[in-house]
Amino acid sequence: MAAHPLISTPFTASTTAEEVLRDVDLAGVRAIVTGASSGLGVETARALTAAGAEVTLAVRNTTAGAAVAETIARSTGGIPPRVVRLDLADRSSVPRFVDAWRGPLHLLINNAGLVTGGLERTQEGWELQFATNHLGHFALAAGLHDALALGAADRDGARIVSVSSTAHMRSGIDFDDPHFERRDYDPQIAYAQSKTANSLFAVEATRRWAPDGIVANTVNPGGVATGLQRNFTPEQRESLDAAEAAGVFTYKTVEQGAATTVVAAVAPEFAHTGGHYLDDAQEAYTVPDDADLAQHPHGVKQWALDPATAERLWAVSTDLLRA
């Protein structure tokens, strides 16, 4: 179990992102939301914009992103979001995005996620879910470190939010074969590994960057029906239906799903502390690695928060991106 008292907030599973931001003024805050052309990313960006933040939508499809930005600007009356292309699976796209960024950054919301129905690889031969969900966000955050440090200096701290999933409970990191070059491919295990990696990133990023005023936390948005499920195989859909029937999760609205992300981004309880995993707007309790998901649907496994594993993953990720 966690060695520290769990951090709690006034919010619940039914709270919406808009309710979290009620009476919160984000004027002057500059935020990036990845994957903000659909689903949770759209609502996260909309809520931040409505609260006064200057939001950049980092998206693969800029046409879809522009339509979202227009809708957000029209509905909120806030600063129209910028739209910048970012393909997290493309090693050249991330540095282009980073090089184009100017000035401080206060919030980096690593929201984008990919689910595949079968084995797909990047140009480098990396398994696509791990490459997109973890390595791309890792490279993005590392590249934006100096901008985040600038943001931390002028607003008493900068925050990174990594969007993970209950799926992390299915798998830790297989350091011997992270890209499924030797083991049989299971898309659910691959996704789970990438979601564990999202959490481990927050642990090690906080250890390294807290002296610069940067903290990172991980969130589980809960069960939300989004475009993420569009590539599910029949087996993946059956697994999801079984998990819902077992009470592992209850579907939330997109507005409720984005709330925990926004809590990690703005709540004072997480202003200067990181390496935590949030579920239903609260810090989740830690369970052993052999714990059953159905019995602990709101827990976080030890392998997703282990400092030694987080440090090892950081080194492995750095080496991959330098190769």
> DSSP secondary structure string, 195-261?
HHHHHHHHHHHHHHHGGGTEEEEEEE--SB--GGGGG--HHHHHHHHHHHHTTS---B-HHHHHHHH
> What is the Cα 130 distance to its own chain's centre?
13
Please name the helix (run of DSSP H) or strand (run of DSSP E) that holds residue 142, with its range, or none: helix 137-143
What is the length of the chain? 323
Q: DSSP letter string over 150-206? A: HHHHHHT-EEEEEE--GGGGG----TT-TT-SSSPP-HHHHHHHHHHHHHHHHHHHH
Residue among 191, 251, 277, 285 flagged as catalytic: 191
Asked if 251 is an active-site residue, the reply is no
Rg (CA), the chain: 18
- Residue burial 93-104, b: 16+ Cβ < 10 Å; e: rest: bbeebbeebeeb
Query: What six digits make up the tokens of 219?
Result: 């969130």
Active site amino acids: 191
